Amino acid sequence: MTAKTLLLLDRGFYHFSFWRQLTDQNVDFITRLKKGASVQVEQVFTDSYALRDRRVRLGAGTKRTPFITLRLIEVRSGKIWHSYLTSVLDPTILPQRCSSGT
Protein backbone atom coordinates (compact mmCIF):
# COMPACT_ATOMS: atom_id res chain seq x y z
CA MET A 1 0.00 0.00 0.00
CA THR A 2 1.32 3.43 -0.94
CA ALA A 3 1.59 6.01 1.85
CA LYS A 4 -0.47 9.14 1.34
CA THR A 5 -0.09 12.64 2.69
CA LEU A 6 -2.63 13.89 5.24
CA LEU A 7 -2.72 17.67 5.63
CA LEU A 8 -4.17 19.39 8.68
CA LEU A 9 -5.83 22.54 7.35
CA ASP A 10 -6.84 25.59 9.32
CA ARG A 11 -10.53 26.43 9.05
CA GLY A 12 -9.40 29.51 7.10
CA PHE A 13 -8.55 27.19 4.17
CA TYR A 14 -12.23 26.58 3.50
CA HIS A 15 -12.06 26.53 -0.30
CA PHE A 16 -13.92 23.83 -2.18
CA SER A 17 -11.82 24.21 -5.35
CA PHE A 18 -8.60 23.90 -3.33
CA TRP A 19 -9.95 20.75 -1.66
CA ARG A 20 -10.75 19.28 -5.09
CA GLN A 21 -7.21 20.07 -6.28
CA LEU A 22 -5.78 18.25 -3.26
CA THR A 23 -7.91 15.14 -3.76
CA ASP A 24 -7.17 15.16 -7.50
CA GLN A 25 -3.46 15.01 -6.55
CA ASN A 26 -4.09 12.11 -4.15
CA VAL A 27 -3.49 14.30 -1.07
CA ASP A 28 -5.89 13.89 1.86
CA PHE A 29 -6.78 16.55 4.40
CA ILE A 30 -8.67 17.13 7.61
CA THR A 31 -10.19 20.44 8.73
CA ARG A 32 -12.90 21.76 11.00
CA LEU A 33 -16.40 22.33 9.69
CA LYS A 34 -17.52 25.96 9.56
CA LYS A 35 -20.62 26.85 11.53
CA GLY A 36 -23.71 27.03 9.35
CA ALA A 37 -22.22 24.89 6.58
CA SER A 38 -24.83 23.14 4.46
CA VAL A 39 -24.16 19.41 4.19
CA GLN A 40 -26.13 16.65 2.52
CA VAL A 41 -25.72 13.24 4.15
CA GLU A 42 -25.00 10.44 1.67
CA GLN A 43 -24.12 7.56 4.01
CA VAL A 44 -24.06 7.01 7.78
CA PHE A 45 -21.15 4.99 9.20
CA THR A 46 -21.77 5.63 12.92
CA ASP A 47 -24.50 7.49 14.80
CA SER A 48 -24.17 7.19 18.58
CA TYR A 49 -24.48 9.38 21.66
CA ALA A 50 -20.88 10.62 21.45
CA LEU A 51 -19.87 9.98 17.84
CA ARG A 52 -21.33 10.62 14.40
CA ASP A 53 -19.44 9.58 11.27
CA ARG A 54 -20.99 10.20 7.84
CA ARG A 55 -20.11 10.61 4.19
CA VAL A 56 -21.50 13.98 3.09
CA ARG A 57 -21.72 16.19 0.04
CA LEU A 58 -20.92 19.89 0.20
CA GLY A 59 -20.96 22.66 -2.37
CA ALA A 60 -23.37 24.30 -4.75
CA GLY A 61 -22.09 22.88 -8.02
CA THR A 62 -20.62 26.21 -9.14
CA LYS A 63 -17.05 26.96 -10.20
CA ARG A 64 -16.39 28.68 -6.86
CA THR A 65 -18.06 25.98 -4.75
CA PRO A 66 -18.04 22.73 -6.75
CA PHE A 67 -19.67 19.66 -5.28
CA ILE A 68 -17.28 17.61 -3.18
CA THR A 69 -17.83 14.40 -1.23
CA LEU A 70 -16.12 14.29 2.16
CA ARG A 71 -16.45 12.53 5.47
CA LEU A 72 -17.89 14.42 8.44
CA ILE A 73 -16.80 13.14 11.85
CA GLU A 74 -18.45 14.71 14.87
CA VAL A 75 -17.31 14.00 18.43
CA ARG A 76 -19.31 15.02 21.50
CA SER A 77 -17.50 16.57 24.45
CA GLY A 78 -20.04 17.22 27.20
CA LYS A 79 -22.83 19.14 25.48
CA ILE A 80 -20.66 20.39 22.62
CA TRP A 81 -20.18 18.66 19.25
CA HIS A 82 -16.82 19.13 17.49
CA SER A 83 -17.08 18.67 13.72
CA TYR A 84 -14.27 17.66 11.37
CA LEU A 85 -14.20 17.18 7.60
CA THR A 86 -11.78 14.81 5.92
CA SER A 87 -11.22 13.59 2.40
CA VAL A 88 -10.43 10.11 3.79
CA LEU A 89 -13.76 8.46 2.94
CA ASP A 90 -12.99 4.94 4.12
CA PRO A 91 -13.53 4.56 7.90
CA THR A 92 -11.18 1.55 7.96
CA ILE A 93 -8.26 3.69 6.73
CA LEU A 94 -8.84 6.58 9.13
CA PRO A 95 -10.93 4.97 11.84
CA GLN A 96 -12.89 7.15 14.19
CA ARG A 97 -12.18 6.93 17.91
CA CYS A 98 -14.26 7.92 20.87
CA SER A 99 -12.82 7.59 24.34
CA SER A 100 -15.36 9.61 26.30
CA GLY A 101 -16.52 6.50 28.16
CA THR A 102 -20.17 7.18 27.31
Domain ranges of the chain: 5-86
What is the predicted pLDDT for the residue at 55?
A: 97
Q: For the chain, which residues score pLDDT lower than 50?
A: 100-102
What is the predicted pLDDT for the residue at 56?
A: 97
Query: Between the CA of residue 85 and those of 37, 57, 68, 102, what are the distances in Å?
Result: 11, 11, 11, 23
Rounded to 10 degrees, the C-alpha dihedral 5/10/13/15 comes to 70
pTM over 0.95: no
